[in-house]
Amino acid sequence: MARILIADDAPIARAMLRRLLEQMGHCVVGEAENGKKAVERYMALHPDLVVLDITMPVMNGIDALRAIRRFDPKAKAIVVSALGHSRSIKEAIDAGVIEFVLKPYEPDRVTRAVNRALAS
């Protein structure tokens, strides 16, 4: 069981991810509605994995991951986002994302991404 932080500005997206992750046996230790709060909550909670959206207010998911990785260079993250053009994917990977899942997603795709990230 991993401790996971979810960062997405859409409450319904956070709820759906929470349900899926909990069904997988993981513990969602926190949620954030923007990138800045994701960084703050990461620093307070030290989760095993962060699930980030890219497009969020205040600070986007890529900038949030960069800030998180400055704090913890070993931080593990996946992106679950509707923004899937090649530039965003490259930026996310350069920032340290282990997996990139496009919305709308199949639950099995998220499950594989989470398992791969946690095993890395």
CATH number where 46 lies = 3.40.50.2300
**For residue 101, which of 92, 110, 93 has the smallest C-alpha distance?**
110
Q: Work out the mean pLDDT of the chain and round it to a whole number.
A: 94
Beta strands in the chain (DSSP E): 3-7, 27-32, 49-52, 77-81, 99-102
User: Whole-model pTM?
Assistant: 0.94
Percent of the chain having pLDDT more than 70?
98
Per-residue confidence at 41, pLDDT binned at 50, 70, 90? very high
Per-residue confidence (pLDDT) for residue 85, from 0 to 100? 67
| Residue 64 structural domain | 3-119
Q: Are 6 and 19 in contact (CB under 8 A)?
A: no
Per-residue confidence at 84, pLDDT binned at 50, 70, 90? low
Per-residue confidence (pLDDT) for residue 7, from 0 to 100? 98
Q: Which residue has the higher pLDDT, 86 or 41?
A: 41
Count of the separate structural domains present in the chain? 1
Per-residue confidence (pLDDT) for residue 79, from 0 to 100? 94
Per-residue confidence (pLDDT) for residue 82, from 0 to 100? 85
pLDDT tens for residues 51-74?
999 999 999 999 999 999 999 999
Q: How many residues does the chain have?
A: 120
Per-residue confidence (pLDDT) for residue 56, from 0 to 100? 94
